[in-house]
Amino acid sequence: MFELDIRSRKPIYEQLIDKLKQLIIHDVLKEDEKLPSVRELAQQLTINPNTIQKAYRELESQGYIYSLKGKGSFVHPSSKNGRKEELEKVREELKELFAEAMYLGMSREEIAELLKDVEGGERHD
Protein backbone atom coordinates (compact mmCIF):
# COMPACT_ATOMS: atom_id res chain seq x y z
CA MET A 1 0.00 0.00 0.00
CA PHE A 2 2.77 2.42 0.89
CA GLU A 3 6.34 2.47 2.03
CA LEU A 4 7.92 4.16 4.99
CA ASP A 5 11.32 5.71 5.03
CA ILE A 6 13.04 3.97 7.88
CA ARG A 7 16.14 6.05 7.37
CA SER A 8 14.30 9.27 7.97
CA ARG A 9 14.67 10.94 11.34
CA LYS A 10 10.94 11.30 11.56
CA PRO A 11 9.50 8.75 13.99
CA ILE A 12 7.83 5.84 12.23
CA TYR A 13 4.63 6.53 14.06
CA GLU A 14 4.45 10.07 12.73
CA GLN A 15 5.25 8.89 9.22
CA LEU A 16 2.44 6.39 9.45
CA ILE A 17 -0.02 9.03 10.57
CA ASP A 18 1.01 11.39 7.77
CA LYS A 19 0.83 8.71 5.10
CA LEU A 20 -2.59 7.51 6.17
CA LYS A 21 -3.90 11.07 6.41
CA GLN A 22 -2.71 11.70 2.88
CA LEU A 23 -4.47 8.60 1.63
CA ILE A 24 -7.66 9.67 3.37
CA ILE A 25 -7.54 13.30 2.28
CA HIS A 26 -6.92 12.35 -1.34
CA ASP A 27 -9.71 9.81 -1.27
CA VAL A 28 -7.48 6.85 -1.98
CA LEU A 29 -9.10 5.45 1.10
CA LYS A 30 -12.80 6.14 0.71
CA GLU A 31 -15.39 6.91 3.36
CA ASP A 32 -16.16 3.91 5.55
CA GLU A 33 -13.45 1.89 3.83
CA LYS A 34 -11.67 -0.55 6.05
CA LEU A 35 -8.04 0.17 6.85
CA PRO A 36 -5.58 -2.72 6.78
CA SER A 37 -5.51 -4.49 10.11
CA VAL A 38 -2.65 -3.86 12.50
CA ARG A 39 -1.34 -7.35 11.85
CA GLU A 40 -1.40 -7.04 8.08
CA LEU A 41 0.31 -3.71 8.12
CA ALA A 42 2.90 -4.82 10.66
CA GLN A 43 3.87 -7.72 8.49
CA GLN A 44 3.77 -5.81 5.23
CA LEU A 45 5.98 -3.03 6.48
CA THR A 46 7.98 -5.02 9.03
CA ILE A 47 7.27 -2.56 11.79
CA ASN A 48 6.18 -3.00 15.35
CA PRO A 49 2.43 -3.66 15.69
CA ASN A 50 2.34 -1.49 18.80
CA THR A 51 3.54 1.46 16.74
CA ILE A 52 0.74 0.92 14.25
CA GLN A 53 -1.79 0.57 17.03
CA LYS A 54 -0.63 3.87 18.41
CA ALA A 55 -0.86 5.61 15.05
CA TYR A 56 -4.41 4.30 14.60
CA ARG A 57 -5.35 5.54 18.05
CA GLU A 58 -3.99 8.97 17.23
CA LEU A 59 -5.85 9.08 13.91
CA GLU A 60 -9.01 8.11 15.71
CA SER A 61 -8.65 10.88 18.26
CA GLN A 62 -8.06 13.35 15.44
CA GLY A 63 -11.28 12.21 13.81
CA TYR A 64 -9.89 10.65 10.65
CA ILE A 65 -10.95 7.11 11.39
CA TYR A 66 -13.28 5.23 13.65
CA SER A 67 -12.99 1.71 14.93
CA LEU A 68 -15.53 -0.99 15.53
CA LYS A 69 -14.74 -3.57 18.14
CA GLY A 70 -13.68 -6.82 16.55
CA LYS A 71 -14.08 -5.44 13.04
CA GLY A 72 -11.21 -3.05 12.58
CA SER A 73 -10.67 0.59 11.71
CA PHE A 74 -12.56 2.54 9.05
CA VAL A 75 -12.27 5.90 7.37
CA HIS A 76 -14.50 8.45 9.02
CA PRO A 77 -17.05 10.11 6.70
CA SER A 78 -15.15 13.37 6.45
CA SER A 79 -16.30 15.38 9.39
CA LYS A 80 -14.31 18.48 8.71
CA ASN A 81 -14.64 19.84 12.23
CA GLY A 82 -12.38 17.08 13.47
CA ARG A 83 -9.56 18.55 11.43
CA LYS A 84 -9.06 21.87 13.11
CA GLU A 85 -5.63 20.93 14.27
CA GLU A 86 -4.59 19.91 10.80
CA LEU A 87 -5.92 23.15 9.40
CA GLU A 88 -3.87 25.11 11.88
CA LYS A 89 -0.76 23.24 10.85
CA VAL A 90 -1.38 23.82 7.15
CA ARG A 91 -1.97 27.51 7.84
CA GLU A 92 1.38 27.79 9.56
CA GLU A 93 3.10 25.99 6.71
CA LEU A 94 1.42 28.25 4.16
CA LYS A 95 2.53 31.32 6.06
CA GLU A 96 6.11 30.16 5.94
CA LEU A 97 5.93 29.34 2.26
CA PHE A 98 4.31 32.68 1.45
CA ALA A 99 7.01 34.45 3.35
CA GLU A 100 9.63 32.60 1.39
CA ALA A 101 7.86 33.22 -1.92
CA MET A 102 7.63 36.93 -1.19
CA TYR A 103 11.24 37.07 -0.14
CA LEU A 104 12.20 35.50 -3.44
CA GLY A 105 10.24 38.19 -5.25
CA MET A 106 6.85 36.68 -5.95
CA SER A 107 4.16 39.29 -6.18
CA ARG A 108 0.75 39.32 -4.54
CA GLU A 109 -0.83 38.89 -7.99
CA GLU A 110 1.23 35.84 -8.76
CA ILE A 111 0.15 34.23 -5.50
CA ALA A 112 -3.48 35.04 -6.26
CA GLU A 113 -3.00 33.55 -9.72
CA LEU A 114 -1.65 30.38 -8.20
CA LEU A 115 -4.58 30.16 -5.87
CA LYS A 116 -6.95 30.49 -8.82
CA ASP A 117 -5.10 27.70 -10.62
CA VAL A 118 -5.47 25.39 -7.68
CA GLU A 119 -9.17 26.15 -7.32
CA GLY A 120 -9.77 25.65 -11.05
CA GLY A 121 -7.81 22.44 -11.06
CA GLU A 122 -9.94 20.97 -8.37
CA ARG A 123 -13.15 21.79 -10.15
CA HIS A 124 -12.08 19.98 -13.31
CA ASP A 125 -11.11 16.83 -11.49
Partner 1 sequence: MIDVRNVDKSFDKQQILTNVSFHVNKGSIYGMLGSNGAGKTTMMRMLAGILRQDDGQVHIDNAGIYENTKTKQRLIFLSDHLYFLPQYTIRQMGDYYRSLFPGWDEERYEKLRTLFKLDDKQKLSRFSKGMQRQAAFWLALSTVPDVLILDEPFDGLDAVMRQKIRNLIIQDVAEREMTVLISSHNLREVEDICDHVGILHKGEILLERDLDDLKEDVHKIQAAFKEDAFDPDETDLDVLHVEKRGSVYVLIVRGTEKEVAQEIQSWHPVVYDRLPLTLEEIFIYEMGGVGYAFENILV
CA distance 93 to 40: 33
Residue of 20, 31, 29 whose CA lies nearest to 55:
20
CB of 108 to partner 1, least distance (A): 24
b/e for 99-125, b at 16 or more Cβ within 10 A? Answer: eeeeeeeeeeeeeeeeeeeeeeeeeee
State the residues that interact with partner 1 by CB under 8 A: 6, 9-14, 38-39, 42-43, 46-51, 54
CA angle 56, 60, 65 (to 5 degrees): 90
**Nearer to partner 1 (CB atom), residue 54 or residue 83:** 54
CB of 37 to partner 1, least distance (A): 9
**Nearer to partner 1 (CB atom), residue 37 or residue 78:** 37
CB of 4 to partner 1, least distance (A): 10
**Nearer to partner 1 (CB atom), residue 31 or residue 100:** 100
**Nearer to partner 1 (CB atom), residue 36 or residue 63:** 36
CB 30 within 8 A of CB 77: no
CB of 53 to partner 1, least distance (A): 9
